[in-house]
Structure 1
Amino acid sequence: MGEVHVSAQDEEVRAGPGDDIVVRLPENATTGYRWHVESLDGGLEVVADDYAPPGEILPGAGGTRVLRLRPAEAGEARLELVLQQPWGDDVADRYALRVTVE
């Protein structure tokens, strides 16, 4: 089992059976805006959803949202995330990732 690391610039990734896909996106918890899964299909499963604070703790400093996905089967899958406050409808950003599991 390996890891495939994905950043905010990636839109497509290839993974093998048993690989974990690790998505890292910038997030600033102090604003209330947080990445949320809007859509997940094609046999992908979220096995971890964590927030990593910044290395140096400063007021208003942003950290990183780290999602760990695991494909259950070969084929095409898609992940769609939105950056929004849980109590509001305003979407600050969107992120989509297409995954091909070979």
Structure 2
Amino acid sequence: MNRNLKRKIGLFTTYAIVSIVLVVSLALFGKANGEITSFGPADNGRILALAPGTVITVALPENPSTGYAWSPEIDKMVGQILEDEFIPSGDNLLGTGGTHLFKIKIIGAGEIRFSYMRPWENCPSETFRLTVTG
């Protein structure tokens, strides 16, 4: 199997897992002091009108075996991380990734950013951003 096809299959699998995790997280977390809303890679750059107390879930594909991880950058006046968890894909294959799940309580307006990078590097390979308005 050629390398490009393997990469496409891997990306498809990762996005399928992210979708499943989003559905499962909604079922597991229910509602807590506001409606839970889930966001993923397709929501990058969105502007959201969310009331304080709303709880959101951000699910991003991650592969820690490569050294890359999502790092949140959230001002304490904008949001508070309630949960921060990596969920493996379940393939049990060396080098496979999974989903990094962040549960965040909205405090106020501002920007929620995530950087996908290796700890020893200065520039992220990817970023994810949501802008919260009141």
Larger relative helix fraction: 2
- Normalised by the size of structure 2, how large is the TM-score? 0.65
In 1: Cα distance, 2:49 partner to 2:66 partner: 33
What is the aligned partner in structure 2 of residue 95 from structure 1?
A: 128
Q: Which blocks of at least 5 consecutive residues in structure 1 are unaligned?
A: none
Matched, 1:84 2:117: yes
Q: How many residues align?
A: 99
Residue 80 of structure 1 and its aligned partner are, at CA, apart by: 1.2
Q: Given the alignment, which residue of 74, 82, 85 partners 1:47?
A: 82
Structure 2 matches for 1:22-37, cutoff 5 A?
22-37=57-72
Q: Which amino acid aligns with 1:94?
A: T
Further displaced range: 24-33 or 86-95 = 86-95
Structure 1 runs of 4+ with >6 Å offset: none
User: In percent, how many aligned pairs have the same letter?
Assistant: 27
Q: Which blocks of at least 5 consecutive residues in structure 2 are unaligned?
A: 1-33
Residue 81 of structure 1 and its aligned partner are, at CA, apart by: 1.1
Q: Given the alignment, which residue of 41, 44, 51 partners 1:16?
A: 51
Q: Which has the larger radius of gyration?
A: 2
In 2: Cα distance, 1:66 partner to 1:17 partner: 20
Further displaced range: 92-101 or 32-41 = 32-41
In 1: Cα distance, 2:112 partner to 2:38 partner: 14
In 1: Cα distance, 2:110 partner to 2:70 partner: 19
In 1: Cα distance, 2:66 partner to 2:81 partner: 24
Indicate the RMSD between aligned Cα atoms, in angstroms. 1.8
